[in-house]
Amino acid sequence: MADDATAKNVIPTGSAGAGGKSPEAVKAAAPAATRRSFLASMSWLGLGWVAFTAGTGAALTALGRFMFPNVLFEPPQSFKAGLPNEYSLGVDERWKEKYRVWIIRTEEGFFALSGECTHLGCTPNYFTSEAKFKCPCHGSGFYAAGGKEKIGINFEGPAPRPLERFRIALTDDGQIVVDKSQKFQQEKGEWIDPESFLKI
């Protein structure tokens, strides 16, 4: 309060003082006062703009962040797929609807093939008789037989690369576990990675 009062007093004193002086003195004092007040007003103006820009930027950033949900009601990225002896040789579709994954058993073991078309992301259908995965959206085809090197390779339609595979392993209780957060791409030579294949 006391500070306020002094601050209020300070400003008028300057101009009142100038008013009391002779006209010459006012002329002489005026440029100095103008420069000082000009600089002061400039720095306040600058500060104001900086604060305004920062505030607007922060608000827009917060607004953008608002559009990214923190909690998703989606199936988890990793799931247990049961015991190996529950699977017979070939393509198994039991997890396709929920997790979009085919578990494929070959003579040597298991791998998890992604059900997401590498063209623009539809889910291909599995056709047993033709031994292929065929995408309903634009007709991409992927081999569904021919061993672990061949299954999932694209051979027709616009898909630019083979279907991806996911990390597959055994849990302590002997179940197969699939982790979709780690993927293996054939065109990057990742299908030879031991984590992409479960030897049984």
Partner 1 sequence: MSKIKDFQEYVSKSQVWRSIFRVGVPTTDRKRALAVLGNVFLHLHPVKVRTSGIRLKYTWCMGGISFFLFLVLSLTGLLLMFYYRPTGEYAYPDIVDLGEQVSLGLMRELHRWAAHLMVITVWLHMFRVFMTGSYKPPREFNWGVGVLLLIFTLLLSFTGYLLPWDQLAIWAITVGGNMARATPFAGYEGPGASLLSIGDIRLVHAGDDARFALLGGRFVGTNALLRFYVLHCVGIPIVAGALMAVHFWRVRKDGGISGPL
Between the alpha carbon of residue 90 and those of residues 77, 116, 130, 177, 192, the distances in Å are 23, 19, 13, 18, 19
Supply the minimum distance, in Å, between the C-beta of residue 140 and partner 1.
12
Count of chain residues binding partner 1 (CB under 8 A): 12
* Binding at 82: pick from partner 1, ligand FES, none (beta carbon under 5-8 Å per type): none
**Interface positions with ligand FES (CB under 6 A):** 117, 119-122, 135, 137-140, 157-159
* Binding at 67: pick from ligand FES, partner 1, none (beta carbon under 5-8 Å per type): partner 1
State which residue, 81 or 101, has the beta carbon closest to ligand FES.
101
Measured distance CA(144)–CA(90) in Å, rounded: 8
74 forms part of the interface with partner 1 (CB under 8 A): yes
Torsion of CA 151, 157, 158, 164, to 10 degrees: -10
- The DSSP string of 2-52 is HHHHHHHHHHHHHHHHHHHS-HHHHHHHHHHHHHHHHHHHHHHHHHHHHHH
3-state helix, strand, coil in the chain (%, to 5): 40, 25, 40
Nearest to 166 by CA among 66, 83, 64, 81: 81
97 forms part of the interface with partner 1 (CB under 8 A): no
* Binding at 157: pick from ligand FES, partner 1, none (beta carbon under 5-8 Å per type): ligand FES
**Near partner 1 by CB under 8 A, which window of 24-32, 117-125, 148-156, 171-179?**
117-125
> Structure tokens of 156?
């027709």
120 forms part of the interface with partner 1 (CB under 8 A): yes
φ, ψ at 199 (rounded to 5°): -80, 130
68 forms part of the interface with partner 1 (CB under 8 A): yes
Supply the minimum distance, in Å, between the C-beta of residue 122 and partner 1.
5
Supply the minimum distance, in Å, between the C-beta of residue 68 and ligand FES.
26
Point out which residues bind partner 1 (CB under 8 A). Answer: 64, 67-69, 72-74, 120-122, 136-137
